[in-house]
């Protein structure tokens, strides 16, 4: 294989980013539950503790609230912590420190401090872990001014966006879909960053814009490939950041294709799909629309255990194909 096209898994890409960040800056350290010798619940930290020692790869007690607060306090006083929540669902236990402290401290103190903390959240369904270990809560945090919230969808972006997050002076929340951890893709060697706040057009097309996040980007690309044979030409926008959202890329794409489908795993209502839809409806792109905006999101239910029920809870490729085809053919 060409060395220039070296492939890593999404998990390996994150691990490499954390190692590079620690090599570049002695203030960077890792905190979280079972991230040391265990290697993290999803083996993302892996053997980093052997390379960087227990002073920089710190196993915390099972104390999400306290742990998040310690990370915030360390960040405010000169360190650059990367805090891993074992599952994104456990953000609920640390919410006070994330929402009331990390997000607001700079503002409340009139700009006298910055809070350069990175928090990582393994998220999403598909692992049979049922209702308390499978949620997609990114929109909760996306609602909070002061936070930046990102959802890298590829190994390349997972590394580049984590390195951008570590360099960022403000709190950055990274939602990593657990089913992406084993996804392989091209990851350049060494240090590079992928900017926070910039969406990426993954596939250009004329007939329909699909705005997707996280694991739904690949599903949207699969759906687009399947519809190519039917003469339907789909543009796929990987949103990548939900706060601050890249308004212009989405609006420009919809102006080009005149149709919008939002695809995301989180519960459909009151989520990122509503935001993207409203953003387009409020913009000049509204006049270009040839069809109603459609959202495909998670069902209005907790994530069930049974694998068939679990799959039925979130959009799958056939759902996207049907919705896209109907939209382009004017069925809806």
Partner 1 sequence: MAGASKAAVVDSRANLPFVYRQYSPEQLREVLHKMYLIRRFEEGAEECYTRGLIHGTMHLSIGQEASAMGICMPLAADDQITSTHRGHGHCIAKGAEVSRMFAEFFGKTTGYCKGRGGSMHIADVAKGNLGANGIVAGGIPIAVGAALSSKMMKTGKVVVSFFGDGANNEGAFHEALNMAAIWKLPVIFVCENNGYGMSTSTARSTAVKNIAERAAAYSMPGIIVNGNIFSEVAEASFKAVERARAGEGPTLIESKTYRHRGHSKSDRNRYRTKEEIEDWMANRDPITLFETELRDFGFIDDQGIQAIRDAVAKEIADGIEFAKASPAPEIATLQNYVYTEQA
The residue (of 63 and 301) whose beta carbon lies closer to partner 1 is 63
The residue (of 73 and 188) whose beta carbon lies closer to partner 1 is 73
* Exposure b/e, 38-75, CB count within 10 A at least 16 = b: ebbbbebbbebbeebeeebbbbbeeebeebbbbbbbbb
Q: Is 76 in the site for partner 1 (CB under 8 A)?
A: yes
**Known active-site residue 156:** no
CA 165 – CA 161 distance, rounded (Å)? 6
Exposure of 104 by Cβ count < 10 A (0-12 exposed, 13-18 middle, 19+ buried)? middle
DSSP 115-152: ---EEEEEE-S-SS--TTS----HHHHHTSTT-EEE--
The residue (of 63 and 269) whose beta carbon lies closer to partner 1 is 63
Q: Is 96 in the site for partner 1 (CB under 8 A)?
A: yes
The residue (of 73 and 302) whose beta carbon lies closer to partner 1 is 73
DSSP symbol at 304: P
The answer to whether residues 150 and 214 touch, using CB atoms and an 8 Å cutoff, is no
Residues in the chain: 332
Q: Is 53 in the site for partner 1 (CB under 8 A)?
A: no
Per-residue binder mask for partner 1 (CB under 8 A), 10-49, x = binder = -----------------x-x--------------------
**Known active-site residue 50:** no
Given 64, 84, 138, 275, the catalytic residue: 64
In this structure, the number of other CB atoms found within 10 A of the CB of residue 233 comes to 16
Among 37, 51, 63, 306, contact with partner 1 (rule: CB under 8 A): 63
The pair of three-digit structure tokens given for residue 229, joined into one six-digit string:
């044979």
Q: Is 169 in the site for partner 1 (CB under 8 A)?
A: yes
Among 34, 43, 79, 206, contact with partner 1 (rule: CB under 8 A): 79
Among 32, 69, 155, 205, contact with partner 1 (rule: CB under 8 A): 69
CA 299 – CA 296 distance, rounded (Å)? 9
DSSP symbol at 185: E
Q: Is 90 in the site for partner 1 (CB under 8 A)?
A: no
CA 217 – CA 239 distance, rounded (Å)? 9
Per-residue binder mask for partner 1 (CB under 8 A), 98-137, x = binder = --xx---xxxxxxxxxx-----------------------
Q: How many residues bind partner 1 (CB under 8 A)?
A: 41
Given 133, 200, 265, 310, the catalytic residue: 133
Nearest to 271 by CA among 180, 175, 205, 166: 175
Stretch that binds partner 1, among 32-40, 75-83, 175-183, 221-229 (CB under 8 A): 75-83
Catalytic residue set = 64, 133
Interface with partner 1 (CB under 8 A): 27, 29, 55, 60-61, 63, 65-79, 81, 96-97, 100-101, 105-114, 145-146, 148, 169-170
């Amino acid at each position: 294989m060409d060395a220039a096209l070296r492939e890593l898994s999404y998990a390996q890409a994150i691990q490499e980013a954390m190692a590079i960040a620690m090599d570049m800056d002695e203030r960077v350290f890792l905190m979280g539950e079972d991230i040391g010798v265990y290697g993290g619940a999803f083996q993302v930290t892996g053997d980093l503790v052997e390379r960087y020692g227990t002073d920089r790869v710190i196993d915390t007690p099972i104390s999400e609230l306290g742990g998040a607060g310690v990370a915030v306090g360390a960040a405010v006083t000169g360190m650059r912590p990367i805090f891993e929540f074992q599952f994104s669902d456990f953000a609920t236990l640390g919410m006070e420190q994330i929402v009331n402290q990390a997000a607001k401290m700079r503002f409340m103190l009139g700009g006298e401090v910055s809070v350069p903390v990175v928090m990582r959240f393994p998220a999403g369904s598909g692992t049979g872990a049922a209702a308390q270990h499978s949620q997609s809560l990114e929109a909760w945090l996306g609602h909070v001014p002061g936070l930046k919230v990102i959802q890298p969808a590829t190994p390349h972006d997972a590394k580049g966006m984590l390195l951008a997050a570590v360099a960022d002076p403000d709190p950055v929340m990274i939602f990593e879909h657990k089913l992406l951890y084993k996804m392989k893709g091209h990851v350049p060697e060494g240090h590079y960053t992928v900017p926070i706040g910039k969406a990426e057009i993954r596939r250009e097309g004329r007939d329909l814009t699909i705005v997707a996040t996280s694991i739904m980007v690949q599903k949207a690309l699969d759906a687009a490939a399947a519809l190519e044979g039917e003469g339907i030409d789909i543009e796929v926008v990987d949103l990548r950041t939900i706060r601050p959202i890249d308004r212009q890329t989405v609006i420009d794409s919809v102006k080009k294709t005149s149709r919008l489908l939002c695809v995301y795993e989180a519960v459909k209502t009151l989520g990122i799909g509503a935001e993207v839809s409203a953003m387009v409806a409020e913009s000049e792109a509204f006049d270009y629309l040839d069809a109603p905006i459609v959202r495909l999101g998670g069902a209005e239910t907790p994530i069930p255990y049974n694998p068939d029920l679990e799959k039925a809870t979130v959009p799958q490729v056939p759902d996207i194909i049907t919705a896209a085809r109907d939209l382009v053919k004017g069925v809806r």
